[in-house]
Amino acid sequence: MSYTLSFNNRRLAGEVTLAGSKSISNRVLIIRALCGEAFPIQHLANARDTELLQQLLQSEEDIRDAGAAGTTFRFMTAFLSTRPGVQTLTGTERMKERPIGILARALRQLGADIHYLEKDGYPPLRIGTPSGLGHVSRLSIEAGTSSQYISALLMIAPTLPEGLSLLLEGKIVSRPYIEMTLNLMRYFGVHHRWEGNTIRIDPQQYQPRPFRVEADWSAASYYYAMAAFADDVHLQLNGLFKESIQGDAVLAEMMSAFGVETTYNEKGVLLSRAATGRPANFDWDFILCPDLAQTLAVVCAGLGVRGKFSGLDTLRIKETDRIGALQAELAKTGCRLSALPPEDGREYYQVEGKADIKGLPVFATYEDHRMAMAFAPLSMFGGIRIEDPMVVSKSYPSFWEDLQQLGFEVEKEEKN
């Protein structure tokens, strides 16, 4: 199945109530499970990954399938490692290609019983009753791969007999996601000390408290892209907080360079167009906000702005190889994403060219929700087609319906 998208208007106006943040929702669900006492969660994400995590936490089955949900798999690996009984945790074929070895090795050092059922270092896993879990209270972990490994360990840390001192080795990627985890833990009564590259969490009890999930800044990025492409904008995005715990809230600052103004109000934010022109160049380090990289690559391509990106270290181990996927799909518009020579030990990529939308280009999504949503705004320059559009259900199931409310034409086409 594919969707054909078009938008025959240079004015973007309307109101969208964004879904709750998947990142926050998933962490709060794990914390509630570790708390051992139910508490209400308002505005929980309606993302497929979040619904799946809820089901897995409530399941009594011996085999639990996390599907394509990477965060869910990693958080469940740590959570099940603290539980009695023998469980098998599996996922899709793509999930079986996504590494879990760093987290599994760390959990084993803590006393977890984890075995690989197929390829060493990769799902599926057999997780048994822990033996002496927590007899080790000091641990080091590579910090340059996925912050989700670190968050998974941090959330179980206060439940361990001696707590945990976690040394983060090397360059820390996606630090805001670690800080999000710690801020949420603090809200539920668990305190920490972060000294140098070591995070110390003493044994403590989570305290149940009602919680409201803020809207997803990553989801907001697609509307910011549309605002950058429009001539006139009056778009209200509901549910976003100015004082956000999400690293992607830097989006408001980032998009000001493209003439998108953000005004905070009681409902969320109001987007409008500034009188200033668009930049010739855009330079950003995405190490703290990697989920925005695809959107900004498309923004640069759509406006013909030369973009210089760094901090894309984790993009190749996401739902797909996001760098390779961007290179392939941007090429369909006549644009390029090219690797630049390393500087100061860092990798750089450059976006060049101005997107030429003609002949109804067909964009693949690679089983990656962010590929579908990042490329959708290009329909403001002409008709495009998105393959496997329902992949957006992973994080934002109502995305296409929300676009239609703003005046986008969305036509469904079944494959023969």
Cβ atoms of 198 and 229 closer than 8 Å: no
Both structure tokens of 321: 């190889």
CA distance 100 to 146: 10
CA distance 218 to 290: 10
Catalytic residue among 49, 65, 216, 291: 291
Both structure tokens of 246: 């999400």
Q: Which residues contact 32 (CB under 8 A, 6 or more apart)?
A: 38, 39, 41, 208
What is the Cα Rg of the chain in Å? 21
SS3 at position 15: strand
Both structure tokens of 79: 């959570």
Both structure tokens of 408: 């986008």
| 291 among known catalytic residues | yes
* Three-class DSSP labels, 130-193: CCCCCCCCEEEEECCCCHHHHHHHHHHHHHCCCCEEEEEECCCCCHHHHHHHHHHHHHCCCCCE
394: DSSP letter = G
The β-bridge partners of 269 are 237, 264
Sign of the dihedral through C-alpha 61, 42, 236, 322 = negative
Both structure tokens of 152: 């998974």
Cβ atoms of 378 and 372 closer than 8 Å: no
CA 114 to chain CA centroid, nearest Å: 26
CA 192 to chain CA centroid, nearest Å: 24
Catalytic (active-site) positions: 291
